[in-house]
Amino acid sequence: MVALAQAAAHLAAKAAESWPLLALAGLAVAAVLAGLRVRDRLRRRADGERLARLRITLPELDTMGDQDFEYALRDLLVRDGWTARKVGGGGYQVADVIGVRPSLGRIVVQAKHTRVGGKVDSSVMYQVKGTAGPAHGADHAVVVTNGAFTRDAMAWGDRHGVRGVDRDRLHRWAHEGKTLHELLGLSARRSRLPWRREA
């Protein structure tokens, strides 16, 4: 017991001697953390300013691969004020980008990058309708292509609440700077998709 008391007293004496070093170390850690926070804030601001000016031409979109096309759609949603993330992959059931904007709800975007002149058919609209609401809780479902939609796909989408963004609308969104919610006429109140049930 005496040995423990002596050891504790020795440690207390050493701590008392080195408190200026401990204080300096604490200040250094605090300064580094503050610097990291400032750097992160500046990076986010720069990213926001870059995205606010984001314009992508159709030829640029046409030359992208599927993944880059999905990232571009995510960035365009962020530019429009959505909190958006690229998801994609087999586990995400026909969703490539998911976005949230409090005044408009949740949007699920399926990207269909095609060769120039390619067309998206009704089967894509069926798949999106089948998963956007039930699997992702979406208020809005959108299929975006750098090509076109068949007449049946557009008619079916109009009837079932799956909106299509074709090459012309994509140009107005990506290059001219119109917001997606303006182009699609998404209401300021959350629109319930046909598959959503009120609680």
Please tell me the distance from the alpha carbon of residue 170 to that of residue 147, in angstroms, as a whole number.
9
Please tell me the distance from the alpha carbon of residue 44 to that of residue 48, in angstroms, as a whole number.
6
Measure the N-to-C terminal CA separation of the chain; round to a whole number of Å. Answer: 66
Of residues 43 and 17, more confidence is placed in 17
Q: What is the pLDDT of residues 38-91, one digit of tens each?
A: 766 655 655 555 555 789 999 999 999 999 999 999 999 999 999 999 997 666
Are the C-beta atoms of residues 140 and 157 closer than 8 Å to each other?
A: no
| C-alpha neighbours within 13 Å on the C-beta side of residue 176 | 12
Please tell me the distance from the alpha carbon of residue 188 to that of residue 46, in angstroms, as a whole number.
28
Of residues 163 and 16, more confidence is placed in 163
SS3 190: coil
Please tell me the distance from the alpha carbon of residue 1 to that of residue 91, in angstroms, as a whole number.
61
Considering the entire predicted model, what is its pTM? Answer: 0.71
Q: Is the dihedral of CA 72, 78, 79, 80 positive or negative?
A: positive
Please tell me the distance from the alpha carbon of residue 57 to that of residue 180, in angstroms, as a whole number.
16
Q: What is the pLDDT of residues 113-164, one digit of tens each?
A: 998 789 999 999 999 999 888 888 999 999 999 999 999 999 999 999 999 9
